[in-house]
Structure 1
Amino acid sequence: MSIITFLIIGAIAGWLAGQIMKGSGFGIIGNIVIGIVGSLVGGFTFSLLGLSSGGFIGSIVTATVGAVLLLYISRLIKS
């Protein structure tokens, strides 16, 4: 996967996670960071559950699920 595609997926996933978690977004850099970390969390979670996804849309779904989990856990710790 090219670095540009990786960054685009991270930005989309971070933005979607911000919208799902009732946030206003985190800026482009924040969205990319949250999306990239979310893709790692999502990939790990999907592998534990025995799920897999492929392609561009599958990568966005995996990264978004991971980013939502990441934001949820960070809000639990924060409060």
Structure 2
Amino acid sequence: MHRQAGVLGARLHEAGELDRSDRTEAEASLNVAADGTEKYLARTGARLTADEQQVIRDHGAKLRRVGAVPVGYIHGDNQLLH
């Protein structure tokens, strides 16, 4: 099973160029992550200090300034399901 998962992961990494809709989605992903900053901070409630919340906001703002990054097909964390 692990060998098959490795083969499938390798095939995904070699899948080639993204199609137009996937490329558009990938290029927008940093802004989508930045847009979620306040939503996720709201979910933390009082578990973060004001200073910790500001660190998150600062990093969210930096996502908007990253610029062009290489994009490609990716997979989530390969974990066994229980």
* Higher RCO (CA < 8 A, seq sep 6+): 2
Q: TM-score, normalised by structure 2?
A: 0.31
Higher helix share goes to which structure?
Answer: 1
Is the radius of gyration larger for structure 1 or structure 2?
A: 2
